[in-house]
Structures are given as structure tokens and as C-alpha cells.
Amino acid sequence: MSAFEALQTIVQREGMEVDYEQYDFGVMINGIGDTLADDTTSSYWLYYVNDQSPTVGADSYLLEADDKVEFRYERLDF
């Protein structure tokens, strides 16, 4: 199961939705529940596996049994 599939499973179980767009490079998560990405504040959804930021999109990262996945809404400084 990918990190993105895990997110979709949990969000559906909680009665929420994931807003996303599919690009050539992978999935871009625009929103989880009522919290949407915001270009004006540079706030976006990022994901981490075992407290590390993977180098591939969430739809390409295959989880292993003991992996801890977190999707965090963070403000980025460009």
C-alpha cells in the first residue's frame, strides 16, 4: 500500500475527503477534510515517513509494516 492509499483509507473511514490532483510527477494533495492548501500563506500538505521527508510522491512511496506516516499541514518559507 502506498502512503497516499493509506491516507485515503483513513480519511474515508473518518467520513472526510482528500482533494488532490494527479500530475506526471505524482499526486499533489490540495486538501484533507476542510483544510486546503493556501498559496497566499505558502501553506501546504506534506508527508513524512518515520519523521523523514521522502524524495517521491505519496502515491509512489510503498509502506513497510512498521512505517509511521504523517501528513502535516505546514507553512513553507521559499
Is the whole model's pTM more than 0.85, yes or no? yes
CATH number at residue 33: 2.170.130.30
Cα separations in angstroms, 73 against 1, 57, 61, 66: 22, 16, 19, 23
| Chain mean pLDDT for the chain | 96
Instruction: Give 33-56 pLDDT, tens digit per residue.
Output: 999 999 999 999 999 999 999 999
Which structural domain, as residue segments, surrounds residue 70? 3-75
Cβ-proximal residues to 69 (8 Å cutoff; 6+ apart), any chain: 3, 6, 7, 47, 48, 49, 63
The total of structural domains in the chain comes to: 1
